[in-house]
């Protein structure tokens, strides 16, 4: 694992000098999480792809001013999130879109059983509904930490809040999520 940060550091240095291939390599390494961050904001697959593409172009234009030595991924993701927020602000009168799960077809030979698979899918659906019902300040932290898979530090940078606040909001968000799930089961 020690080779990877060195490799990224070299890519960043070359990208900051205007090396397109190096910058493209950096984007490929972080494209997956960037698409997730965009989707969490705009909640539409196609628009999330457009947002990510536009944000990548902005990041490329800004790359010569990137401070080599600082963390690249949070910087890139902040550009993606803000591009997404700009789109959402532009459509604020529309109904708010919701996160969606992939359609799952349960086959007859599903393991351990088709019934179990259906129950698991139903449990996920209820969990997602509960996540959507969280207050925005808790939901933002929960979805970035657990659905996008960001670290506490990255979540703090992206949301512009202290790391301690991420920690406390994640804990309180999970407690509230638990309460919402219990409420839904009554």
Residues that bind other proteins (CB under 8 A): 17-20, 23-24, 27-28, 31, 35-36, 38-39, 45-46, 48-49, 52-53, 56-66, 74-75, 78-79, 81-82, 86, 89, 99-102, 104, 121, 123-124, 127-128, 131, 142, 146-149, 157-158, 160-161, 171, 174-175, 177-178, 181
Place of tokens 């593409």: 53
User: Looking at beta carbons only, is 86 or 151 nearer to other proteins?
Assistant: 86
User: Looking at beta carbons only, is 2 or 118 nearer to other proteins?
Assistant: 118
User: Looking at beta carbons only, is 36 or 73 nearer to other proteins?
Assistant: 36
Nearest approach, Cβ of residue 164 and other proteins (Å): 15
Task: Identify any residues that bridge with 70 across adjacent strands, giving them in sequence order.
Answer: 68
Q: Are residues 111 and 64 in contact, defined by beta-carbon separation less than 8 angstroms?
A: no
Sign of CA dihedral 29, 33, 39, 42: negative
As a whole number of angstroms, the distance between CA 3 and CA 22 comes to: 16
Q: Are residues 144 and 74 in contact, defined by beta-carbon separation less than 8 angstroms?
A: no
Locate 182 and state its tokens.
């219990």
Sign of CA dihedral 176, 179, 181, 184: negative
Nearest approach, Cβ of residue 2 and other proteins (Å): 26
Nearest approach, Cβ of residue 46 and other proteins (Å): 8
Nearest approach, Cβ of residue 3 and other proteins (Å): 22
User: Looking at beta carbons only, is 2 or 93 nearer to other proteins?
Assistant: 93
Q: How distant is the alpha carbon of residue 168 from its chain centre?
A: 19
Q: Are residues 101 and 128 in contact, defined by beta-carbon separation less than 8 angstroms?
A: yes
Nearest approach, Cβ of residue 9 and other proteins (Å): 18
User: Looking at beta carbons only, is 2 or 138 nearer to other proteins?
Assistant: 138
Nearest approach, Cβ of residue 152 and other proteins (Å): 13
As a whole number of angstroms, the distance between CA 123 and CA 119 comes to: 6
User: Looking at beta carbons only, is 42 or 115 nearer to other proteins?
Assistant: 42
């Amino acid at each position: 694992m020690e080779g990877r940060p060195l490799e990224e550091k070299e890519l960043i240095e070359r990208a900051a000098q205007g090396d397109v291939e190096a910058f493209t390599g950096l984007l490929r390494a972080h494209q997956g999480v960037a698409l997730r961050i965009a989707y969490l904001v705009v909640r539409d697959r196609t628009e999330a792809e457009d947002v990510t593409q536009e944000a990548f172009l902005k990041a490329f234009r800004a790359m010569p001013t990137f401070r080599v030595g600082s963390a690249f991924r949070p910087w890139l993701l902040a550009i993606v999130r803000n591009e997404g927020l700009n789109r959402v602000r532009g459509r604020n009168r529309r109904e708010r879109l919701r996160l969606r799960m992939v359609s799952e077809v349960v086959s007859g030979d599903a393991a351990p059983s088709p019934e179990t698979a259906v129950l698991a899918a139903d449990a996920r659906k209820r969990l997602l509904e509960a996540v959507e019902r969280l207050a925005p300040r808790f939901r933002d932290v929960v979805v970035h930490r657990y659905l996008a898979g960001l670290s506490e530090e990255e979540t703090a940078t992206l949301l512009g809040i202290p790391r301690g606040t991420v920690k406390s909001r994640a804990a309180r968000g999970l407690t509230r999520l638990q309460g919402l799930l219990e409420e839904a089961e009554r």
